[in-house]
Amino acid sequence: MKFSFRTCSAFTFAVALCWVAGSAELPTTKTGLAPVNAISDTSRTRALSGQEIRAELATLPGWQAEEGMAGKTYSFPGFSDAVAFIVRISHPLEAMAHHPEIRNVYGKVYVGFTTHDQGNKITDLDFKAARAVEAIAAKLPQKDPSN
């Protein structure tokens, strides 16, 4: 496949330009989420206590914490819907410089977050990312997860 700038999103193109120019600043995505600088943002390195994690999980239906990771499984009508969801969440998560563990089996997608530079513990950043994922998922058709 031949590369074409016409196939790139404006965000992808801007990220590529910043990388080529050596800029540390990333553009804001269409979602309006400002990028997070991994080096200067201290909130991403603060591990949460068990009580703080439980309080955050209470605000995110379906999310669970296990073995240092906060995650949820979403269920979509089919494979292409699941892949579309993965693509949609990639843009704001890239802007946040926080990348989830993703598993996709047909129409089911598991999204999990942990902060590696905090020893694979759950931090504020994991829940900021989870809320961004929830906002996108709320706009998409989903199946009952028990199916």
- The per-residue pLDDT for range 64-122, each reduced to its tens digit, is 999 999 999 999 999 999 999 999 999 999 999 999 999 999 999 999 999 998 999 99
CB 79 within 8 A of CB 145: no
Cβ 15 vs Cβ 95: under 8 Å: no
Average pLDDT, the chain: 79
- The whole-angstrom separation of Cα 107 and Cα 113 is 20
The whole-model pTM stands at 0.71
pLDDT digit string, tens, across residues 73-86: 999 999 999 999 99
Domains of the chain, CATH where assigned: 33-137 (3.30.1360.20)
Query: What pLDDT sits at residue 146?
Result: 67
Supply the pLDDT for residue 147: 58
What is the DSSP annotation of 43-87?
Answer: GGG-BPPHHHHHHHHTTSTT-EEETTEEEEEEE-SSHHHHHHHHH
